Structures are given as structure tokens and as C-alpha cells.
Amino acid sequence: MSNYNFSKNFHWGVSTSAFQIEGAHDKDGKGISIWDEFTQKKKVILDNHHAKVACDFYHKYEEDLELIKDLGIPNFRFSISWTRIFPDGCGRVNQKGVDYYNRVIDSCIEKGIEPWVTLYHWDLPENIQKRGGWANRRIVDWFYDFAAFCASHFGDRVKRWMVLNEPMVFTGAGYFLGIHAPGRRGLKHFIPAVHHAVLSQAEGGRIIKELRPDSLVGTTFSCSLIEPFRENNPKDIKAAKRVDALSNRLFLEPALGLGYPTEDLPFLKRLEKHIRKGDEKRMQFDFDFIGIQNYTREIIKHSTFTPYLRAKLIESKSRNVPITEMGWEVYPKSLYAMAKKFASYEKVKEVIITENGAAFSDELQNGKIYDSHRTNYLAENLKELNRAHLENEKIKGYFVWSLLDNFEWAEGYHPRFGLVHVDYKTLERTPKLSALWYKKTINAHNQKHVGNVLTKSDLALERRK
């Protein structure tokens, strides 16, 4: 057991998302999302996997929340499926969907678990996509209404909100590369989607605060430490800087009032035709915290033939470094660097690691599931985060991705990130040894601070004597 020195008010948690675990894809009035539609296509998901059942969290949430309680994890991050609330994306409300999330939230609170709710984790209503999705400016209003509804109906119990999950990923993979839902390709889709997501994250934050002033509102960003392939090569250094601007700064800096990083990424000047009068102010919001989601670092080399970025990723497999089943380099120092980078912004009040974890193969022996690679990954990442935490008090939390093995988007069910193993045939849950390690880590943290309090109390009593 590593000896960490996180402060008493450090937040420990575990993360999930609706589409990846809920299943019940058409249950109780739920509408069709872009991922429901996307997974119907051939050859877009590995082995044509889909999430119609997934982990069946929709029916098994009580069992899973009891697992969280038993593991001593105090905070649970999950998302709300937009189409369970508004099957058509807007207008008609599905009361059964509202009732379901009321039950999940109430059950969390009854078990002493703090719910941290993500409003949008990629499952856009298909009816909104038919009208252009994130490329249609009207989505700012549709999302505003969805956020307002959730804040009004759940905000009496939910105090921690995250507006968007990884906007760089859902716009980049979904509207430029086409490898995620809705499968659009090219700048003509990506550029407007970026601007409308930036507006939506700010407008979503504003309406939550307006309706629930006592709430704590954040949003989450994917991020990676970006380093040049050749440290002394000016072209590689500039290429890495461009990738960093795209991957780590594009959605954060407009919220902070710094605008888009067009100086480092000239192609972003195409955003200008989508920016209307007053948008620069509308893009800004004073978030209570920023969630960052880091798994690895990326090594970048200059590439004349890559459009827009003039940069290419050097695959980890080719560099003879330890990697996860996703092909990502195991590099814990990336978490240290990214936590410090985001905390260094003056207007960022608090940084929470809202996702960090790894996909590795598990070994079943005598009814136990051994996953030493995952445990080692988490332990080493926490060491680096502890170092960052001690150097910057803004860094205040850590959530493991993920509670359960689940549907991992284009990779289907092949990579397993869970602390808890899921048998996809029987849906049986089995905590892995990494889950038990995480429980011990949290318990050791709690006992350390209880011990400190008792020691101080004892000293005070001695003085009175």
C-alpha cells in the first residue's frame, strides 16, 4: 500500500456513463440516441457489438450502488441519458425516465454516496442529429432546456454537476474523423460543432447556477501530455504545440475568457463565420471546478502531409514502452503534468481528476479476479497526482474510470477498464483485486485523517490537564 498524503477534503470516486452501462435501450419510453443509431451500422464497432443491454445498470443499479458502498467509495459520477428525459430531444417529457433518475439519486443518498452528475456524455438524441446535431446552432437552446430541466428536477439533491464530457472527443471523433457517432467527417461539420459545444458548456453552467445557486458546477476535458518526438527539433516542437492547443486548450480557454487558440492553430479562424455578436461573452463561464480525464501521453512528430495540424502521432507500440490494451503508453507522469497545467490557469478554481484508469486483461483464479497491472497503474498514477496535489492546493479529487467493465464505444466490450468484472453473458459482478486495493487506499486516507484529528484532540485534553 502506497503512503499518500492527500488532504482531508480530497474527493475519492468512481465514474461511469449512461450509454456505456445502462442498457435498456428502448425501455420505459426512452428515445433513440445517436449511439443507438450508430451501433446499428456494420463495421463501425469492433465485432459489431452494441449497448442494448450493456451492463444492465438500468435494472441493476441498486446492486451496483451497494457495491460502491461496500467498497467505501464516497462519490459516484454518472450521466443522464438525454433521451430518457426527452425522447425526441426536446418538447415531450418522459416521466418514467425522470422517475428512474430520481430512484438512482435517492438510492445514492440513502447509501451515503454523493452523486456527481454529468449532463452530456455523448448520447445525443437522434432527432436532434437529424437537424444537424452539434453543427446546428439551435442545439444551444435545446441543450439549455435539457440542462434547465435536470437542474430543476434533480438539483435539490444533486450538488455536483458536470456540463459536458470531453467535448474535444465527441466533436473530433464524431464530427471530423467520423469514427464515433454520428459518423460525420470534415471541417464543415467539426468547426460549427466546436463553437456550439463551447457555447453550450457555458450556457448549461449558467442555467444550473441560476436555478440552483448552491450547486457546484464543472465540466470535463480529455487531456494528454503532448511531447515532441525530437526534443531539439523546432518542427517537432511546433507540431507538439499545435496538437496541445487542439487537444488541451480548445474548449477550456474560451470558457476562461481567453478565446480560441487561433494563433497556434490558424485553421480555427474558420470559426469566425459562426461567431455572432455577443458570443465572446456567452462562451465564458466561471466554473466551480474543472474535471480532467487523463490516461497517457502522446509523442508528436512534424508531418508535412497531415492537413491542418501538420503533425502525426508516433504510436506507442513502435516505441517499445509499456502499453495498455488500448495501445496507450503507461506514463503516470502525464497525470502530474496535466493536473499542474490545468491548475496553473488563474481562473481555474479547482481541478478534479474525473477519469483515470486502464484496460488490461484480467486473470480468474479460484473465484478471484487478479488484475495486478491495473492496480499498479492506479497506484503509480496516484503517486504522481499526490505530488501535484502537494504542490498545488487546487487539485482536489480523483475518480477511477470505471466502476464496471462496460461498452467502450468503437472498441465494443473488448477493453476492460472496470474495478468490477462483468460477465456479459450472466451480468454477474465480481470486484477485482484492484477494487479491493482502492477500498484500502480510501480507508487508509480516512484513517490517517481521523487519526490526526484524534491526536490533536488528545493534545488539547493534555493541555487542559
User: Annotated catalytic sites, by residue?
Assistant: 166, 355
Take residue 312 and report the three cell numbers written for it.
502525426
The total of other beta-carbon atoms located within 10 Å of residue 282's CB is: 17
> CA 26, 116, 162 angle in degrees (round to 5)?
85
| Cα→Cα distances 315→134, 302, 311, Å | 30, 14, 13
Q: How far is CA 207 from the centre of its chain?
A: 21
With beta carbons less than 8 A apart as the criterion, state whether 239 and 302 touch: yes
Distance CA 196, CA 128 (A): 13
Distance CA 106, CA 96 (A): 15
The total of other beta-carbon atoms located within 10 Å of residue 458's CB is: 10
Take residue 459 and report the three cell numbers written for it.
493534545
Distance CA 223, CA 82 (A): 25
Long-range CB pairs of 372-379 (<8 Å, 24+ gap) are 372/433, 374/419, 374/432, 374/434, 375/433, 375/434, 375/437, 377/324, 377/330, 377/332, 378/434, 378/437, 378/438, 379/2, 379/437
Take residue 210 and report the three cell numbers written for it.
441560476
Instruction: Name the amino acid, one letter, at 134.
Output: W
Specify which residues 228 forms β-bridges with.
Answer: 300
Long-range CB pairs of 236-241 (<8 Å, 24+ gap) are 236/300, 236/301, 236/302, 238/302, 239/300, 239/301, 239/302, 239/303, 239/309, 239/310, 239/311, 239/312, 240/300, 240/311
